[in-house]
Amino acid sequence: MRELICELLRLFYQKGWVSGTGGGICAAFGSNTVLTAPTGVHKERVKPSDLFVVDSQNGKVVHAPKDRSLRISECSPIFCAILRQRGAGSVMHSHALSAVLAADLAGNSDRVIFESLEMLKGLSGSTNLDKHPVPVIYNTVREPELESQMRDVMGQPDFKNSHAILVRDHGAYIWGQDVWETKRHAEVYHFLFEATVARAQRHSKK
């Protein structure tokens, strides 16, 4: 699992989702514990021994890497909130440009609707006929302050089939039952972001 997380970080880096030391991933590891990448490091260079083990119930570090210069991600409370409130097994955090541009489409609304795309079938519980809403929240100065907005949107019935939250000017949090579903959901949502941004550009010209 540790090696797989590092491999996925390298893949996400190649895709431009975790550049500039931003973004990250966590995955359940054992009972009520979760493996998380450190903050402020070049994500494509994270080694298996660099990961933190965190208690997903209270967010406390259970096992820190030997390298004491590494710090736990500021996303950690957010990751834990999603794991608990959604019963997810893994969460990734993307700094992709397409996520920022997709959030821009919301304007002052609290959501972006994704529709008319086969790729919706790649989301657990969705069909390609769905109008699939993803909540869009406001960015905050520090990442833990996003948590209350997130708890709120995760509790809304409209978003019960959403596996992602867009953060304006920032990116997205995307989750799944396990690390493989999170990878699939991440690829699907980034496709939805890119397709919907491209279609919006075309419509704005008509």
Site residues, a copy of itself (CB under 8 A): 19-22, 42, 95, 97, 100-101, 104, 116-119, 122, 127-129, 139, 141, 167, 169-171, 180, 183-185, 187-188, 190-191, 194-195, 198-199, 201-202, 204-206
- Residue 56 or 179 having the CB closest to a copy of itself: 179
SS3 71: coil
Which residues lie below 8 Å from residue 57, measured CB to CB, with a gap of 6+?
A: 32, 80, 84
Rounded to whole angstroms, how far apart are CA atoms 52 and 62? 8
Nearer to a copy of itself, 135 or 171 (CB): 171
Q: How far is the CB of 139 from a copy of itself (least distance, A)?
A: 6
CB of 197 to a copy of itself, least distance (A): 9
- DSSP conformational letter for 38: B
Q: What is the DSSP letter of 183?
A: H
Q: Which is nearer to a copy of itself, 110 or 187 (CB)?
A: 187
Nearer to a copy of itself, 64 or 119 (CB): 119
SS3 state at 111: strand
CB of 162 to a copy of itself, least distance (A): 16
The catalytic residue among 7, 74, 118, 145 is 118
Q: Residue 118 catalytic?
A: yes
Query: What letter does residue 150 receive in the DSSP assignment?
Result: H
**Which residue from 100, 129, 136 is spatially nearest to 115, judged by alpha carbons?**
129
- Residues 160 and 119: their CA atoms lie apart, in Å, by 18
CB of 64 to a copy of itself, least distance (A): 21
Q: Catalytic residue numbers?
A: 118
